[in-house]
A and B are shown apart, each in its own frame.
Chain A
Amino acid sequence: MLPRVLSLGVRRGPLTRRPGTLRGGFSLDWEEKLSEIKKKIQSVLPGTSLHPLYDSSHLPPDHSDVVIVGGGVLGLSVAYWLKKLEKQRGALRVLVVERDLTYSQASSALSLGGIHQQFSLPENIHLSLFSASFLRNINEHLAVVDAPPLDLQFNPLGYLWLASEKDAAAMENNVKVQRQEGAKVCLMSPDQLRNKFPWINTEGVALASYGMEDEGWFDPWCLLQGLRRKVQSMGVLFCQGEVTRESELVKMDNSVEYQPVECALVINAAGAWSAQIAALAGIGKGPPDTLQGTKLPVEPRKRYVYVWHCPQGPGLESPLVADTSGTYFRREGLGSNYLGGRSPTEEEEPDPENLEVDHDFFQDKVWPHLAQRVPAFETLKVQNAWAGYYDYNTFDQNGVVGPHPLVVNMFFATGFSGHGLQQAPGVGRAVAEMILEGRFQTINLDSFLFSRFYLGEKIQEDNII
């Protein structure tokens, strides 16, 4: 409003006659001076942070109710649900601090984007079902006025998990649990497998479980951008910077500027780097075997994804196949390209220092299993490869959700070890409910709290790729 009034004032007032016109020729200087004056006045206006001496609009605000550390899919999901479930419009001030707005190392952007309900824990199944229905109705949830609708490029082809003799009984049990919780999964014998997917070599496979609905893969970047757009339209502030001290100092990128942000709650959604943020809060600083001394057991683990071309490979109907050896692959697009990889064993873990790809890993550890399971993959050509981090929970490979028992104003939404993207909408809602209502309402995630690390209660999940 004011700029318009200002310019109107300039046009109508005595200043219309430029000082230079009398003498003839100083008009350029005047324009620049005018814009500087406008900027100065704007920065002193009520509603902006009052720093009349210098412009601080690029810094985060001084106060914020909730600060979310990490702007990946989990952090944005928490921000979205906080704003959606707040009692009054504008009741919560939320700030999202993201270190790298290009998301060059973020797990969300580098993910394969798969979603499935074939877990052994009922909570995981519920989270995944909730997320599937969120993604299905994404244009109702994340709609912004005058913005184009989101196209997630969802591929509903399902996951196919193969089990050897020794895992067959566990798989049957898991499928029973999954069906009870509402997932549409069916079991297939090796004969049925060969009938349906003739390109599979069923040697060593005793049982297979195939997801029929709500399973598949989608474009995680689209979800990320959609969440960002919606969350910004709901009034959440974004800031590019790094959190450096528990008194909430946000350091701006590429500069030595610091901005202390006073807040009531901090949500740790920093993914692979969550342990550093937790250490800033003093979590883990204490004698071992006490609650104070229990560190957050989340560390970055590097995983490779390879893209190859195989002209005679499985057809359009092939699901994401997860082999007995831990190798997985799926088809990409119409042009016989496939994506896949394998989680290395504990001894083979690569160094998470950087995101360099090890191509020998594909030659030695991935290709033999691929060729054994799908004979057509004997001839293939690797086109591309990339690496990304898992925010790996070394305790039990399941997420950490909820408040810390001692540092009561730090909430966690991290440690999902490779299935964070598919559970993000559900986890975001759970954390928002915990903050606003004080307990989990939609999905009960009490077994995912931090205290299990101290009590030693592992909730092991079997079906992790």
Chain B
Amino acid sequence: MAAPWRSLRLVAPIGNRSTRGIHQLGGAVDPESSQKKRRTMLQYLSDHFYDVEFLRGYFLQNKMDKVHQKNRSFAHLEETHGPNNAGAFFILKQGGAVKFRDKEWIRPDKYGHFSQEFWNFSEVPVEAVDASDCAINYEGLENLHLLKELQSLSLQRCPHMDDWCLSRLYPLADSLQELSLAGCPRISERGLACLHHLQNLRRLDISNLPSVSNPGLTQILVEEMLPNCKVVGVNLAEGLKLGPEEQPQDTDRPIPA
């Protein structure tokens, strides 16, 4: 079997923090121009030296492996602690926040530690999940299916959420009432189209989706697709000369703004 590094020639990320130490060459007087120079020098070195190419591939593969590790399956916890606790543990390990029914929000602190009292809750369903900025991807969503009574899900600014992942949200259709996808860089209108399974959805946030080609038209089509749902996020009056827009404030949303 080919060694893992051989198959991995991955795209150079812009400003990759982990490789800057190894590939930093000479002092940088002007940070911006040196970053540009560093990027082309990195490319130049990669073109000419196998070692540089290998190291780049190795570090990037490490990053990918970390994401895969975060999204491993937590199904083994389901037998011992029940589906709700297993799913909640998954979200908390990722860095997200969980709210059980009639309890307070449980959030990990900046070191990643969180209160372990939820293991003692037996059969209390998870009502809301705030997975903003988490590295959750297609495989990780399988762990989310354990939470059968989830009502509110926030996936804001998740870098690995894409159209394939949205097609995996349909098992939550019975209970999900609120979904936020604001700021996810990889979601496009094709993924939004498969939200039509979520018939109980009452509030959908699709603001700041850079990959959606036509936000206004997409919002109209999504509103047509989900007639009972309030779709927020796109300012349809952008560019028109109108009076000040009024944003309705919901004070009883389980997810804090």
Which residues of chain A are near B193, meaning CB under 8 Å? 155, 157, 316-317
Among the listed B9, B46, B168, B218, which residue makes an inter-chain contact with A334, where contact means beta carbons less than 8 Å apart? Answer: B218
A2: interface (CB < 8 Å): no
The number of residue pairs between A and B whose CB atoms lie closer than 8 Å in the complex comes to 88
- Complex interface residues of chain A between 226 and 278 (CB less than 8 A to chain B): 233
User: A153–B190 contact, CB under 8 A?
Assistant: yes
User: B163–A156 contact, CB under 8 A?
Assistant: yes
User: A334–B164 contact, CB under 8 A?
Assistant: no
User: B222–A143 contact, CB under 8 A?
Assistant: no
Q: How many residues of B contact A (CB 8 A)?
A: 39
- Complex interface residues of chain B between 129 and 161 (CB less than 8 A to chain A): 138
The interface stretch among A20-28, A144-152, A359-367, A419-427 is A144-152
Give A350 to B221 CA distance when docked, in angstroms. Answer: 39
In the complex where A315-B221, A316-B225 touch, is A146 in contact with B190 (Cβ < 8 A)?
Answer: no
User: B11–A155 contact, CB under 8 A?
Assistant: no
User: B138–A156 contact, CB under 8 A?
Assistant: no
Give A226 to B206 CA distance when docked, in angstroms. Answer: 30
User: B191–A147 contact, CB under 8 A?
Assistant: no
Give A145 to B218 CA distance when docked, in angstroms. Answer: 34
Nearest Cβ on chain A to B120's Cβ, whole angstroms: 35
Q: Which of A139, A146, A147 has the most CB of B within 10 A?
A: A146
The interface stretch among A84-92, A159-167, A376-384 is A84-92
User: B163–A334 contact, CB under 8 A?
Assistant: no
Give A89 to B164 CA distance when docked, in angstroms. Answer: 33
Give A365 to B155 CA distance when docked, in angstroms. Answer: 46
Give A153 to B224 CA distance when docked, in angstroms. Answer: 22
In the complex where A146-B46, A213-B167, A213-B168 touch, is A156 in contact with B12 (Cβ < 8 A)?
Answer: no
Give A143 to B12 CA distance when docked, in angstroms. Answer: 10
Q: How many residues of A contact B (CB 8 A)?
A: 31
Among the listed B12, B64, B192, which residue makes an inter-chain contact with A140, where contact means beta carbons less than 8 Å apart? Answer: B64
User: B225–A147 contact, CB under 8 A?
Assistant: no
- Give the secondary structure class of B's interface: helix
Nearest Cβ on chain A to B162's Cβ, whole angstroms: 9
B33: interface (CB < 8 Å): no
In the complex where A213-B168, A316-B224, A334-B217 touch, is A157 in contact with B7 (Cβ < 8 A)?
Answer: no
B196: interface (CB < 8 Å): yes
A154: interface (CB < 8 Å): yes
B25: interface (CB < 8 Å): no
Give A148 to B166 CA distance when docked, in angstroms. Answer: 23
Give A172 to B91 CA distance when docked, in angstroms. Answer: 38
Which residues of chain B are near A334, meaning CB under 8 Å? 189, 213-214, 217-218, 221
Closest A residue, CB atoms, query B186: A151
B43: interface (CB < 8 Å): yes
B residues with a Cβ closer than 8 A to A are 1-2, 6-12, 43, 46, 53, 56-57, 64, 138, 163-164, 166-168, 170, 188-194, 196-197, 213-214, 217-218, 221-222, 224-225
29 pairs across A/B with beta carbons < 8 Å?
A85-B2, A136-B138, A141-B7, A143-B8, A143-B11, A144-B11, A145-B9, A145-B11, A145-B43, A145-B57, A147-B11, A155-B193, A156-B190, A157-B190, A157-B193, A158-B167, A158-B194, A213-B168, A315-B221, A315-B224, A315-B225, A316-B189, A316-B192, A316-B221, A317-B193, A317-B194, A317-B225, A334-B217, A334-B218
Beyond the given A145-B43, A156-B163, A334-B218, please list 4 additional residue pairs across the A-B interface where CB-CB is below 8 A. A84-B2, A139-B11, A315-B225, A317-B193
